[in-house]
Amino acid sequence: MTAPPRGPASFVRHPISRAVAGLIGPRGLRDTSALRRAVRDKVVVVTGASYGVGAATARLFAAADARVVLAARSLEQLRVVADEITDAGGKAYVYPLDLTSEQSVAEFAAAVLYDFGAVDVLIHNAGKSLRRSIHLSYDRPKDLTATTGANYLGPMRLTMALLPGMRARGRGHIVNVSTVGIMFPVMPKWGFYLSSKAAFDWWMRAVAMEARADGVTTTTLYAGLMHTRMSAPSAWMRLLPGQSPSDAARVIARAVVDKPRTIAPIYGHPSAIAVPMLRWPLEVGIGFVYRFLGDTPASLASARPSPDDRFAADDQEATGDRGVAGSQKEAGDRGAAGGPGVADDRAQAGSQGEVGDHGVAGGRGVTGDRGVAGGRGVTGDRGVAGGRGVTGDQAAADGRGVADGRVQDCGQEMAGDRGVADGQGGTGDSSVAGDRIAGDGTERRSAH
């Protein structure tokens, strides 16, 4: 299977379609000189800055003479963006950040505060989108941990790490790039994504009420359709008018300059008002329609993988699940042959066994209905010791550890949903080659 197209359909770029998108909004900042006055020499942190909206935002703010901190898991791609910025005369600084890892967030915040002293603008752009029927997630706890980590817990932890400095100085601005989807009726298949986005939105609004008294302002951008790699796997989205990454970057710039409490497309707030009053008929009607709609190829491929159904690591976005490079692969809840695997819950290398939802590699059993343990097998949710093989659903030979959350094998560690083997790492629902994170959290690149 080939990777899905990354951009919108050709007619969406037509001037008429662009005009419709501009009318729907939200509108962006037109006066770039106003942005320069607002952020010149200010420290601006942009999460998810390796691609799409984050990269476009970093370029725009750097062009306005801000000192831009680029944060993401993909260090190599961050360096590409940083090089583009410095070649154009801007200032960019690269730091690794994995929002699903509490340790990574703490190390990132400590490194940035140590290097710059304070942060003036924090832009929560990174996120994990997921559209998948719930029955495909029964045996995939990482669908929960990846979306809540990237969309809720990670941004919350980062805010709590940087907010005290802003309040102590009496100034600062935080932009939460959310989704207009949380203003819409509840939609089947979007439960993990929309619930995690809504959770952070409510938390951020509560925090804003306290922080505003100390001079710290916040803006929530309820973004409409943006044509990025995140929306690409949904074919119907590629047919609708929407904003490009550069359009969205200008909306974020407007949030920083004008500091409104909310920004949304023209249909956002009317929808938020109507939905509670029409809840029953909307849920019945939408539920009926969605019985006839399937899942995206990305979601199906992740749930029932085959060698031909995996996307290359660099062709995937945070939508559905993604393929894995190197000797690792994530295959729903199945183990991987020939290298460290990623599957159900947790595994530790060694010779000891664990029961419940925990498995052990290296001559013992692995749990979660799938498993690999040096040619040994797995049964149900119980570890199997002593080299006896018991088949669950699938077992892979010559693997070392199979788990969903953490694997330790020969000094390698998987934290959160992050796999690390032979210098390769991945987070969320994917492993991506080259996404390496410094052990001390201070690997960064300063370019002037």
Higher-confidence residue of 380 and 164: namely 164
Higher-confidence residue of 49 and 190: namely 49
pLDDT, mean of residues 130-148: 87
Instruction: Decide if pLDDT at 337 tops 80.
Output: no
- Asked if residue 283 belongs to a domain, the reply is no
Instruction: Decide if pLDDT at 394 tops 70.
Output: no
Q: What is the rounded distance in angstroms from the CA atom of residue 52 to the CA atom of residue 7?
A: 11
Instruction: Decide if pLDDT at 56 tops 90.
Output: yes
pLDDT of 129: 84
Instruction: Decide if pLDDT at 106 tops 80.
Output: yes
- Asked if residue 365 belongs to a domain, the reply is no
pLDDT of 211: 97
Most confident of 230-239, 305-314, 417-426: 230-239
Q: What is the rounded distance in angstroms from the CA atom of residue 94 to the CA atom of residue 166?
A: 21
- Asked if residue 222 belongs to a domain, the reply is yes
- Asked if residue 373 belongs to a domain, the reply is no
List, by residue number, the catalytic residues: 193
pLDDT of 24: 77
- Asked if residue 405 belongs to a domain, the reply is no
Instruction: Decide if pLDDT at 160 tops 70.
Output: yes
pLDDT of 291: 81
pLDDT of 162: 98
- Asked if residue 144 belongs to a domain, the reply is yes
Neighbours of 100 (CB within 10 A): 25
- Asked if residue 75 belongs to a domain, the reply is yes
Neighbours of 1 (CB within 10 A): 12
pLDDT of 8: 57
Task: Share the mean pLDDT of the chain.
Answer: 72
Per-residue pLDDT band for 255 (boundaries 50, 70, 90) equals very high
pLDDT of 41: 96
Q: What is the rounded distance in angstroms from the CA atom of residue 315 to the CA atom of residue 324?
A: 10
Q: Cα torsion at 259, 261, 267, 272 (round to 10°)?
A: 170
Q: What is the rounded distance in angstroms from the CA atom of residue 297 to the CA atom of residue 320?
A: 9
Q: What is the rounded distance in angstroms from the CA atom of residue 230 to the CA atom of residue 154?
A: 19
Percent of the chain predicted with pLDDT > 70: 58
Residue 234: give the domain boundaries.
10-276
Nearest residue to 71 (alpha-carbon basis) of 169, 154, 138, 15? 154
Instruction: Decide if pLDDT at 439 tops 60.
Output: no
pLDDT, mean of residues 75-102: 96
> Please, what's the b/e burial string for 138-160 (b: 16 or more CB within 10 A of its CB; e: otherwise)?
ebbbbbbbbbbbbbbbbbbbbbe
pLDDT of 10: 61
pLDDT of 428: 38
pLDDT, mean of residues 103-110: 98
pLDDT of 238: 55
Higher-confidence residue of 405 and 94: namely 94
Per-residue pLDDT band for 17 (boundaries 50, 70, 90) equals low
pLDDT of 9: 56
pLDDT of 381: 40
What CA–CA distances, in Å, run from 142 to 12, 22, 150, 335? 34, 37, 12, 15
pLDDT of 112: 98
Nearest residue to 67 (alpha-carbon basis) of 49, 50, 44, 86? 44
Question: What contacts 318, CB < 8 A, 6 or more positions away?
Answer: 127, 128, 129, 150, 230, 428, 429, 430
Residue 68 bridge partners (DSSP): 44, 92
Q: What is the pLDDT of residues 294-304, one digit of tens each?
A: 776 766 766 65
pLDDT of 437: 38
pLDDT of 401: 38
What CA–CA distances, in Å, run from 91 to 5, 61, 176? 32, 10, 23
Instruction: Decide if pLDDT at 441 tops 90.
Output: no
pLDDT of 433: 34
- Asked if residue 302 belongs to a domain, the reply is no
What distance, in Å, lies between the first and last C-alpha atoms of the chain?
Answer: 42
pTM of the model: 0.64
Q: What is the pLDDT of residues 352-378, one digit of tens each?
A: 333 344 333 333 333 334 333 334 333
pLDDT of 48: 95
pLDDT of 25: 72
Q: How many domains does the chain have?
A: 1
Percent of the chain predicted with pLDDT > 90: 44
Neighbours of 125 (CB within 10 A): 28
CATH code: domain of residue 165: 3.40.50.720
